[in-house]
Structure 1
Amino acid sequence: MTDTLYIHPLTFVSGPQAVEGDAVRLAGGMVYAREFAVVLRRDGAIIQREIVTRDGVEEVFARLPDDVGPEAEAQWSDLRNAHLALELGGRTIRLDQPQVMGVLNVTPDSFSDGGKFMDDADEMQAHAAAMHEAGAAIIDIGGESTRPGAKAVWEGEEIERVRPAIEYCAGMGAPVSIDTRRPAVMEAALEAGAHIINDVSALRYDPRSLEFAAASGVPVILMHAPGKGEDLHAGGDYSAVAFDVFDFLKQARDGAVEAGVRRANIILDPGIGFGKSLADNLNILNHLPMFHALGQPLLLGASRKRMVGALSNEAAPHQRTGGSLALAQLGMNAGVQLLRVHDVFETVQARNVWRGLRDAALTDFGGLAN
């Protein structure tokens, strides 16, 4: 018999003053939650679900089985955990507000750009500079396509693809993450100036990755994907997808810490589009606030994904900006700290407007006349 617990923020308010203080600031950010679902699963089946506000949470915890009491307290604390800023190559990236990560693929078969940034160095540099100038806090560089059916790349070739892009981006002062699952590429990327490891296999693809990540001392992004071999999309069989992804990320977090990765260096990504159906992706997106209970900064990578096309008459990747912005705003409303996107200018503009609304809400006491 296995019991697992989940605390899912359900309703949100503009600020604590709107409900006389009966709200919780999620992850030290700009989002405030009022009602929470405390869910208990036993061997995969939900056996208890109670709705509670901050002032009644201890009473609900007292009714839980003794063996999940410590986990309930830990998740409740983690939901409110304010994350330290990322210090990346002399740049400080604050995590008390959403930050935009720009995507730079240097592959011949990228679904979003068709490989033009690998074939033309001037095009790559111009695109990287435009993202940086538009307000990308981080540029995420990848040399291997991870779309369904993509062929694996030899690590030497992957290094040759990403090194020039990393050197250029680091040279213009941009913090860089390396999107790879191979430790040799991770090492070469950090030597070239990268600051973050972004592994779509959550450091499972190569047994050496965990050791390298721990020794490197840099922040690590751990993403959910059901497959751990060549096909990251294989094996997506879920009993309750949001809870199953939560459990996976919790295990990945704990495994990384056990291997020597500092917990403060771990960022989690639910892996939208990786081994998941449209219904699976929508379910996870609607449960995004729950993932704060893992106590780590969250990354959302939904930009131009297949699900946007599926919901918009099969729009091509370059026609998915509107849907991508809708998902980015969903992430902001859920308190997600990092938004990995292709359309940096548009997303930064949306974030700035969102930020203005949130700032104004904190001084809004209901619009009552004095």
Structure 2
Amino acid sequence: MDDHIMKAYDLFQLEDFVQDIYFRQWVLGQLEPEDEFWTNWQKKYPEKKGLLEQAALVIKTFQCDPGYVNPQADAESINSIMAAINLPAERKLWVRNWLSVAAVTLLAVGLSFLLLTDGKDRQPTYLVDSWKTDAGVKNYENTAQDPMYVLLSDGSEIWLQKASSLRVDESFGQSVRKVILEGAAEFKVQRDVKRPFYVYANGLTTKVLGTTFKVVSYDQDKVSVSVSSGKVTVYQDKPNKEIELSDELILKPNQQAIFFKTEKKLVKTLVEKPLRMPEELNISSIYNESPMNQVLKDLEMAYGVTILYDEDLLKKCNLTATLSSESLYDKLELICETIHAKYQIVDGQILITARGCI
């Protein structure tokens, strides 16, 4: 079954549609002519027309700005502009009057301004193979069992795992920061909005401005990128071809992307062991007949993940439990067992399906 069929698009908000690859491909006319999923979806959810139009305008503005030569989407730019609108969730979904048009116009203008002023710092996909053998490349190779510590000239830190190697171009830090990884490494990148940091690993490119993440590419057919803090953008390498907005995945903390090279398939999911966000460690873990909607919102904040569910169905559900040292997945199992629900991971989000409580 196609991944998009499982997604709860009826619960998506503006940001979710903008970041969804399948929706972006439809907006940009990149789907097969016989693919009528979105046409049929609009007929089923006519009340979502305004929301889809807003998301489509954002995508087209980002993709088609004439001053934007190499359109690699900047996840932080998207989110910062969306945050600037500062509308309540229900307004984002349901506004129908002239304020909706004004908000979309401001969003489009804001995106255009960002792209025009920041476009000079954006780079195309590099032909990685062309500088693997260049004399100006510094090589690091870890043949030991313990991680090798590498400190780059910009202050970024790398922990190169066993049986791994790292190549750093001599031009590192001049306009961009780029490295080639074979094997696995953990990165703590110094933030620099004017000099993006690129990691090339077995057909997959990871672009960041400043964050903490891990790349694993031991398997010649599979590469994974997991995020601990901040946001990263990942996409398949396409030599001699510009990267388009629809090619990219945006990852947040506790999300990961897995690239299956043979199938040329890039999948977003959650990491195997999601960790609590350091800034949210004080969120309550003791519940006594607490509304289930509040419990799930607490989990969203604690782990920095998105949990999709029907608030109306769960408004009569309560929870009495202590959720402390268990993993996120164990907590979800307990919650679902309590309210006779099920959960699944779809596109890096948690989807809870329930029948409600009496």
TM over 0.5: no
* TM-score, normalised by the number of residues in structure 1: 0.28
Normalised TM-score (structure 2): 0.28
Q: Higher helix share goes to which structure? A: 1
Q: Which has the higher strand share?
A: 2
